[in-house]
C-alpha cells in the first residue's frame, strides 16, 4: 500500500479558524529563523570527519532509543533491531532487515512525537514521498541510501542546509575535544561547541568512577589525590572547555538535593570514594555538595549551569547489562525542588552572574514548584519540556502551567536534546509551531494582543535561548 506523506502547512495548530490563522501568521514570522541548539547529543566527530552517513538504519534507527524502545515494548528483541551488545555478541547486522521491521511496525508511532518527527525528516530532509510501511520500506531505504552518497548529505552540508547557527554537543569532563578542535581549525564556519558534563567524574557510586578520576588526572595533568586537587582539575577542564567555545555545563542527578559540606567532611567522602568505600549516603551527599561547587564555579567562570534531575537510569538491568546505557529504559521518578534547591538558591540564586537552567521529567512540579521558583530567583530559568515531554501535548502543558506564574522571560526557548542529527529541523519546527499555537490561543482569547504575541514568538524561537546560553 502506498500512501503519500503529507505535511499539512497548518499541522499541529488548533483547528479553530481564529486560532489557526493567528498561529500560522506567528509561525511564518519565526519558521525560517536560524536554529540554535544549545543542548544536544550529536557526535562532534560527524563534523570533524564530515564522512558520508553509512546507511539509513545506522543513521536513523540504531542510535534512536525513542524508536527501538517502542518496538521492544511490543515484543521485538533488541538483538533483532541491531542494537549493539556490550560484549559484542550477535546482533542483527543486516540493516535492510532491520529497516524492514521498522517499516512493518511504523504504525506504532501514530500519535507520538517520533512519528511526527520522522514524517518531517523523511519528506523534508530526504525527499521521500511515500509513507514508511511494510511495502515501501525497501524502496525508501534505497532512496535514502542513494542520497547519503551525495555531497549534499554530508554532515556539514546538512548543518548548513538546516540553517543551524550554533550546535552544542555534550562532552565528558575528560574529553579531549579533539573533534571540536578539528572543526575549529577547519575552513568550515559551522559553530559546533562543547558542553561540560562532568557526571562521570562526580558520580562516586559508579564502578567506573576511580578509573574516570584517573583519566581526569591525566587529562587535566593534575595528580588527583585530594578533594582540593579534584576541584582544581575540574576548574582547569572548565577553563579548557570555555576556551573551546563552551558556554554551559550540564548535570544529571537523580535527586536535585543541594548542600555544601565542610571541607573536612567532603574530603572524607572523597577519600572513601578513592578507596572504593563509598556509602550510599556518601554518593547523595557528594552530589549535593558538587552542585553547590558547580554553581560557585559558574559564577566565577560564567558558564551557564543546567540541571537535569529525576531520571532513574537503566531501570531494566537485563537490557542494561546486555546493551549498555541509553537503551530506552530510563524511567522518570517524582522530583522535589522546593526543599532540594533551597540551599543552592539561597547561596547563589540572588546572584545575576549565575544562570541556572532547571529541567524536569515530573510535570507536577511545573506549576507547583518550578514556575514559582523561576518567578522569583534572579538566577533561575526553566528549561523547556524535556525528553518524554518534548511533544505536542507536553509542550502545551508546559506553557499552560508555567507562563502564568513565571512569565515567558524566565524560560529559555527550545532544546532539541537529540542524538539524531537529521531530526533537528523537525524538532525545532514542532516547537515553533506549538509555541505559535500557544500564543495564538492567548491572542484569540484576548489575553495578549497580536503585537505582543509577535514579540514573544520571536523570543521563544530565538532570543531567549541565545541570551540564556550566552550564545551572542
C-beta of 221 vs 451, nearer to its own copies: 451
C-beta of 222 vs 434, nearer to its own copies: 434
Can you tell me the distance from the alpha carbon of 284 to that of 142, in angstroms, rounded to the nearest whole number?
Answer: 50
Minimum gap (Å) between residue 168 Cβ and its own copies? 24
Query: Per-residue DSSP letters for 361-422?
Result: S-TTHIIIIIHHHHTT-TTEEEPPP-GGG-SHHHHHHHHHHHHHHH-STTB-------S-GG
Cell matching residue 294: 558547580
Minimum gap (Å) between residue 259 Cβ and its own copies? 15
C-beta of 3 vs 218, nearer to its own copies: 3
Kind of pairing, strands 331-332 and 311-312? Answer: antiparallel
C-beta of 87 vs 185, nearer to its own copies: 87
| Cross-strand bridge partners of residue 18 | none
C-beta of 233 vs 345, nearer to its own copies: 345
Minimum gap (Å) between residue 333 Cβ and its own copies? 5
Sign of the alpha-carbon torsion through 135, 419, 213, 349? negative
Minimum gap (Å) between residue 336 Cβ and its own copies? 7
Name the region of 16 (left: φ>0; alpha: ψ -120 to 50; beta: rest). Answer: beta
Residue with grid cell 581549525, as numbered in its chain: 185
C-beta of 156 vs 381, nearer to its own copies: 381
Answer whether 419's CB lies under 8 Å from 58's CB. Answer: no
Q: Please tell me what DSSP assigns to residue 130.
A: B
Nearest residue to 109 (alpha-carbon basis) of 60, 66, 62, 63: 66
Q: Please tell me what DSSP assigns to residue 122.
A: I
Q: Which residues fall within 8 angstroms of residue 254, CB to CB, at 6 or more apart?
A: 287, 309, 310, 311, 312, 313, 333
Minimum gap (Å) between residue 372 Cβ and its own copies? 5
Minimum gap (Å) between residue 58 Cβ and its own copies? 23
| Burial zone of 451 (CB within 10 Å; 0-12 exposed, 13-18 middle, 19+ buried) | exposed
| Cross-strand bridge partners of residue 172 | 197
C-beta of 44 vs 310, nearer to its own copies: 310
Can you tell me the distance from the alpha carbon of 364 to that of 418, in angstroms, rounded to the nearest whole number?
Answer: 24
Q: Cβ–Cβ contacts within 10 Å for residue 185, how many?
A: 9
C-beta of 214 vs 404, nearer to its own copies: 404
Minimum gap (Å) between residue 411 Cβ and its own copies? 11
Minimum gap (Å) between residue 156 Cβ and its own copies? 32
Minimum gap (Å) between residue 173 Cβ and its own copies? 28
C-beta of 46 vs 408, nearer to its own copies: 408
Amino acid at each position: 500500500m502506498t500512501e503519500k506523506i503529507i505535511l499539512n502547512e497548518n499541522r499541529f495548530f488548533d483547528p479553530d479558524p481564529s486560532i489557526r490563522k493567528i498561529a500560522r501568521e506567528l509561525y511564518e514570522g519565526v519558521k525560517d529563523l536560524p536554529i540554535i541548539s544549545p543542548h544536544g547529543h550529536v557526535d562532534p566527530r560527524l563534523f570533524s570527519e564530515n564522512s558520508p552517513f553509512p546507511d539509513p538504519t545506522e543513521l536513523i534507527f540504531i542510535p534512536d532509543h525513542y524508536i527501538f524502545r517502542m518496538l521492544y515494548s511490543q515484543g521485538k528483541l533488541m538483538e533483532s533491531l541491531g542494537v549493539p551488545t556490550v560484549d559484542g555478541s550477535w546482533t542483527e547486522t543486516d540493516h535492510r532487515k532491520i529497516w524492514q521491521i521498522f517499516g512493518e511496525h511504523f504504525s506504532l508511532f501514530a500519535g507520538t512525537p517520533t512519528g511526527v518527527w520522522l514524517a518531517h525528516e523523511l519528506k523534508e530532509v530526504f525527499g521521500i514521498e511515500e509513507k514508511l510501511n511494510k511495502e515501501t520500506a525497501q524502496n525508501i531505504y534505497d532512496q535514502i541510501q542513494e542520497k547519503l552518497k551525495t555531497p549534499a548529505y554530508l554532515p556539514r552540508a546538512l548543518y548548513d542546509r538546516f540553517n543551524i547557527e550554533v550546535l552544542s554537543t555534550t562532552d565528558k569532563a575528560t574529553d579531549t575535544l579533539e573533534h571540536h578542535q578539528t572543526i575549529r581549525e577547519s575552513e568550515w564556519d559551522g559553530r559546533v561547541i562543547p558542553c561540560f558534563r562532568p557526571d562521570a567524574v562526580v558520580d562516586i557510586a559508579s564502578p567506573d568512577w576511580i578509573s574516570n578520576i584517573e583519566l581526569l588526572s591525566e587529562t587535566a595533568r593534575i595528580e588527583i589525590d585530594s578533594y582540593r586537587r579534584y576541584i582544581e582539575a575540574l576548574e582547569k577542564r572548565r577553563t579548557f572547555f570555555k576556551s573551546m567555545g563552551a558556554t554551559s555545563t550540564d548535570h544529571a542527578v537523580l535527586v536535585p538535593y543541594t548542600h555544601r559540606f565542610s571541607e573536612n567532611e567532603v574530603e572524607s567522602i572523597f577519600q572513601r570514594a578513592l578507596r572504593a568505600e563509598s556509602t550510599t549516603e556518601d554518593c547523595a551527599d557528594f552530589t549535593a555538595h558538587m552542585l553547590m561547587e558547580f554553581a560557585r564555579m559558574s559564577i566565577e567562570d560564567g558558564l551557564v549551569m543546567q540541571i537535569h534531575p529525576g531520571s532513574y537510569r537503566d531501570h531494566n538491568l537485563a537490557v542494561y547489562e546486555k546493551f549498555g546505557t541509553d537503551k530506552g529504559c530510563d524511567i522518570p521518578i517524582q522530583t522535589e525542588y522546593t526543599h532540594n534547591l533551597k540551599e543552592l538558591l539561597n547561596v547563589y540564586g540572588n546572584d545575576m552572574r549565575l544562570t541556572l537552567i532547571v529541567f524536569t521529567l515530573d510535570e507536577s512540579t511545573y506549576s507547583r514548584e518550578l514556575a514559582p521558583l523561576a518567578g522569583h530567583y534572579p538566577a533561575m530559568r526553566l528549561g523547556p519540556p524535556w525528553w518524554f515531554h518534548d511533544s505536542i501535548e507536553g509542550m502545551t502543558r508546559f506553557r499552560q502551567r508555567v507562563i502564568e506564574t513565571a512569565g515567558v522571560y524566565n524560560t529559555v526557548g527550545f532544546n532539541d536534546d537529540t542524538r539524531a542529527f537529521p531530526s533537528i529541523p523537525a524538532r525545532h519546527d514542532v516547537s515553533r509551531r506549538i509555541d505559535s499555537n500557544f500564543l495564538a490561543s492567548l491572542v484569540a482569547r484576548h489575553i495578549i494582543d497580536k503585537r505582543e504575541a509577535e514579540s514573544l514568538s520571536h523570543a521563544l524561537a530565538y532570543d531567549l535561548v541565545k541570551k540564556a546560553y550566552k550564545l551572542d
